[in-house]
């Protein structure tokens, strides 16, 4: 037995055109949905001023705590908004350190920086303080506004700020006078938890 499986060519073309049309409509709908999502994200940023506020988190490794005898060995900056969402991260800058500073480094710092490999990386580096400051200033200029971004970090107000003021003064001039010291926040939290009988 044989059956006639032939189809009308015009009918086939019509079905194909219909399918193509549906696919185009689906693509348009998807594009419109993505645009709406982007607009919603943009509206949220416009409505929430906290998303526009920036914080510069600075991490510094030094050869010791004596700002007159020691120096910065490594520095990096992370910029976040006030909700701590990361906006940008600078390169991890390892500086060239004079041999005499490495030789005179106190033993705890010798041990720590030898273990992490920082001393060896500093010996191989050719990056000067000025070049590092130029890079950081360019980075901050790209992602923050002058005098509107506070400095933040762990123990930054106690120790690291002294090194930043002395060795990276233009970076400090770019940042705001306000400082967010994580160590202080930790101590406040510990005091609150210890003194609050409702918190175990």
**Which tens digits make up the pLDDT trace of 124-177?**
999 999 999 999 999 999 999 999 999 999 888 767 889 999 999 999 999 998
Across the range 85-92, mean pLDDT stands at 97
Across the range 74-82, mean pLDDT stands at 96
The bridge status of strand 151-153 relative to strand 54-62 is: parallel
pLDDT at 188 over 80: no
Q: Of all residues in the chain, what percent carry a pLDDT higher than 90?
A: 57
Count of C-beta atoms within a 10 Å radius of residue 54: 20
Per-residue pLDDT at 3: 47
Fold topology of 50-188: Nucleotidyltransferase; domain 5 (3.30.420)
Residue 188 C-alpha from the chain's centroid: 25
Per-residue pLDDT at 64: 94
1-58: per-residue pLDDT in tens?
Answer: 544 544 555 555 555 555 555 555 555 555 555 565 555 555 555 555 656 799 999 9
DSSP for 7-65 reads: --HHHHHHHHHHHHHHHHHHHHHHHHHHHHHHHHHHHHHHH-GGGT-EEEEEEEEES-S
User: CB neighbours of 71 closer than 8 A, spacing ≥ 6?
Assistant: 62, 63, 95, 97, 98, 101, 129, 163, 167
The bridge status of strand 72-81 relative to strand 93-94 is: antiparallel
Is 96 buried (19+), middle (13-18) or exposed (0-12) by CB count in 10 A?
middle
Count of C-beta atoms within a 10 Å radius of residue 113: 22
Per-residue pLDDT at 183: 73
């Amino acid at each position: 037995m044989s059956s006639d499986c032939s189809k009308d060519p015009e009918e086939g073309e019509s079905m194909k055109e219909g399918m193509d049309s549906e696919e185009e409509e689906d693509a348009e709908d998807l594009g419109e949905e993505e645009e709406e999502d982007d607009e919603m994200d943009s509206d949220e940023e416009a409505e929430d001023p906290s998303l526009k506020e920036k914080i510069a988190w600075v991490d510094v490794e030094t050869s010791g705590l004596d700002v007159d005898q020691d120096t910065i060995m490594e520095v990096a900056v992370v910029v976040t908004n006030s909700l701590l969402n990361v906006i940008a991260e600078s390169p991890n800058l390892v500086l060239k350190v004079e041999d005499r500073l490495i030789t005179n480094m106190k033993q705890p710092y010798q041990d720590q920086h030898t273990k992490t490999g920082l001393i060896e990386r500093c010996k191989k580096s050719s990056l000067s303080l000025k070049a590092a400051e130029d890079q950081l200033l360019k980075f901050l200029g790209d992602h923050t506004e002058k005098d509107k971004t506070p400095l933040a970090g762990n123990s930054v107000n106690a120790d690291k700020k002294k090194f930043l003021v002395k060795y990276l003064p233009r970076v400090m001039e770019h940042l705001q006078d306000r400082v967010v010291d994580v160590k202080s926040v930790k101590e406040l939290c510990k005091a609150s938890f210890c003194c609050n009988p409702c918190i175990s």
